[in-house]
């Protein structure tokens, strides 16, 4: 039943008419549990609250798949505004972005030029930029662009998804090249030709990737709300004496807050991914699809 619901939610998340409808109804429907607001100021306020609770943040301006060059220019300008907003408030935060929002599907060269501009600004403001990983058709390009830019700058990282068969090989290459990687399970609907269909296999590869990247001494962001994976990573780190400057735990805004607080109390670095913006719908549907029980939470909001 959960699988049927998950597939339906993933389909709905890609529907353009549903996106338009959701925009009209704003962040009601319960999306405000997962999205910090539509304006940058609201997101920076959320970052302030997280910082006060001992957590760092990474800000993501929602919006994927720029449909035109001006749209991609606007997304890039927003990334720069985010970096400036973080610096102006002295916040403990950095930036996450999706290459499709910078026009990856339109013109690779112009997308890379926009990213270079953002990285230059991030360097000036002593910040850091993480490339989120999107669906599998964009994986090769994202890793390729990351490796190209990583040669000339340290303040850029990439996310790698444990559900893809290719990812263990990617982690070996990236670790050997000295990369800063965020490891995640993976959030998109992928065919069996490219991704493990069973959760147990995803979890096994996820743990293996975390340990391999840490063993290489590369900076590792362990991004999960899965307590078993977090405990296994903590045990591995303790057994190998990995310094706390080499890794951090990351979680999504509105999810796993008790676990976040626990890790902060134990002295681990915790960073919360804070998405905001008008294009919250696709992100929201991915969060529902991950845990179909969240749909009840949405229905309760609708009744109010
Ligand atoms: P899993 O799905 O097994 O969940 C473990 C437990 O966490 C659940 O039992 C539940 O308690 C809780 N939980 C998980 N999801 C929940 C939800 N939606 N609502 C309520 N509770 C929930 N993906 C991607 O493809 N590209 C990317 O760039 C990123 N970036 C990213 C950054 C950060 C900081 C995080 C934490 C995650 C991502 N992801 C991502 C998403 C990731 O791939 C994955 O879909 C989610 O983290 C959910 O998987 P878990 O690792 O939490 O495990």
This complex has an ipTM of 0.99
Residue 145 lies in a domain: yes
Q: Can you tell me which atom of ligand 1 is nearest the CA of 290?
A: 18
Tell the residue nearest (CA) to atom 18 of ligand 1. 287
Q: Is the CB of 186 under 6 A from ligand 1?
A: yes
pLDDT in tens, 191-217: 999 999 999 999 999 999 999 999 999
Site to probe by mutation for ligand 1, drawn from 104, 160, 223, 288 as the one with most ligand atoms within 8 Å of Cβ, is 223
Q: Is the CB of 188 under 6 A from ligand 1?
A: yes
Q: Is the CB of 184 under 6 A from ligand 1?
A: yes
pLDDT in tens, 26-61: 666 678 889 999 999 999 999 999 999 999 999 999
Residue 186 lies in a domain: yes
pLDDT band at 288 (very low <50, low <70, confident <90, very high): confident
Q: Is the CB of 45 under 6 A from ligand 1?
A: no
Please indicate whether residue 182 is annotated as part of the active site: yes
pLDDT band at 280 (very low <50, low <70, confident <90, very high): confident
Catalytic residue, candidates 114, 182, 218, 271 = 182
Q: Can you tell me which atom of ligand 1 is nearest the CA of 252?
A: 36
Residue 292 lies in a domain: no
Q: Is the CB of 274 under 6 A from ligand 1?
A: no
Pick from 187-191, 272-276, 298-302: least confident: 298-302
Q: Is the CB of 187 under 6 A from ligand 1?
A: yes
pLDDT in tens, 211-229: 999 999 999 999 999 999 9
Count of structural domains, the chain: 1
Residue 302 lies in a domain: no
Q: How far is the CA of 109 from the centre of ligand 1 (A)?
A: 31
Q: What is the CATH number of the domain that holds 171?
A: 3.20.20.220
Site to probe by mutation for ligand 1, drawn from 291, 296, 298 as the one with most ligand atoms within 8 Å of Cβ, is 291
**What is the average pLDDT across 129-145?**
98
- Structure-token pair, residue 89: 């408030």
Count Cβ neighbours within 10 Å for each residue of 207-245 and write b for 16 or more, e otherwise: bebbbbbbebebbbbbbbbbeebbebbeeebeeeebeee
Q: In angstroms, rounded to a whole number, what is the distance separating the alpha carbons of residues 190 and 216?
A: 29
Residue 127 lies in a domain: yes
Residue 194 lies in a domain: yes
Residue 180 lies in a domain: yes
- Structure-token pair, residue 211: 């340990």
pTM for the model: 0.93
Tell the residue nearest (CA) to atom 26 of ligand 1. 133
Q: In angstroms, rounded to a whole number, what is the distance separating the alpha carbons of residues 19 and 40?
A: 21
Residue 20 lies in a domain: no
Please indicate whether residue 132 is annotated as part of the active site: yes
Residue 269 assigned ligand-binding role: no
Q: Which domain holds residue 56?
A: 36-279
Helix ranges (H only) for the chain are 2-13, 16-24, 40-52, 69-89, 108-124, 139-150, 167-176, 199-215, 227-240, 257-265, 281-290, 294-303
């Amino acid at each position: 039943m959960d699988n049927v619901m998950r597939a339906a939610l993933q389909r709905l998340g890609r529907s353009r008419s549903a996106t338009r409808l959701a925009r009209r109804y704003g962040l009601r429907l319960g999306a405000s549990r997962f999205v910090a607001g539509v304006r940058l100021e609201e997101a920076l306020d959320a970052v302030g609250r997280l910082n006060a609770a001992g957590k760092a943040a990474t800000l993501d301006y929602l919006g994927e798949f720029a449909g035109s060059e001006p749209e991609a220019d606007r997304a890039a300008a927003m990334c720069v505004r985010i970096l400036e907003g973080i610096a102006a408030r002295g916040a403990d935060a950095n930036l996450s972005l999706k290459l499709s929002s910078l026009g990856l599907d339109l013109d690779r060269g112009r997308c890379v030029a926009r990213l270079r501009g953002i990285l230059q600004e991030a360097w000036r403001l002593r910040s850091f930029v993480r490339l989120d990983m999107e669906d599998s058709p964009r994986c090769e390009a994202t890793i390729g662009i990351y490796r190209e830019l990583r040669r000339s700058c340290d303040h850029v990282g990439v996310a790698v998804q444990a559900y893809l068969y290719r990812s263990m090989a990617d982690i070996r290459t990236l670790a050997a090249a000295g990369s800063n990687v965020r490891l995640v399970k993976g959030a998109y609907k992928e065919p069996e030709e490219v991704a493990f269909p069973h959760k147990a296999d995803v979890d096994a590869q996820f743990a293996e990737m975390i340990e391999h990247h840490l063993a290489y001494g590369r900076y590792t962001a362990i991004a999960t709300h899965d307590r078993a994976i977090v405990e296994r990573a903590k045990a591995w780190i303790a057994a190998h004496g990995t310094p706390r400057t080499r890794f951090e735990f990351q979680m999504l805004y509105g999810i796993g807050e008790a676990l976040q607080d626990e890790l902060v109390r134990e002295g681990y670095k915790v960073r919360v991914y804070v998405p905001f913006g008008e294009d919250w719908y696709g992100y929201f549907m991915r969060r529902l699809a991950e845990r179909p029980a969240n749909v009840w939470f949405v229905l309760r909001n609708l009744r109010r």
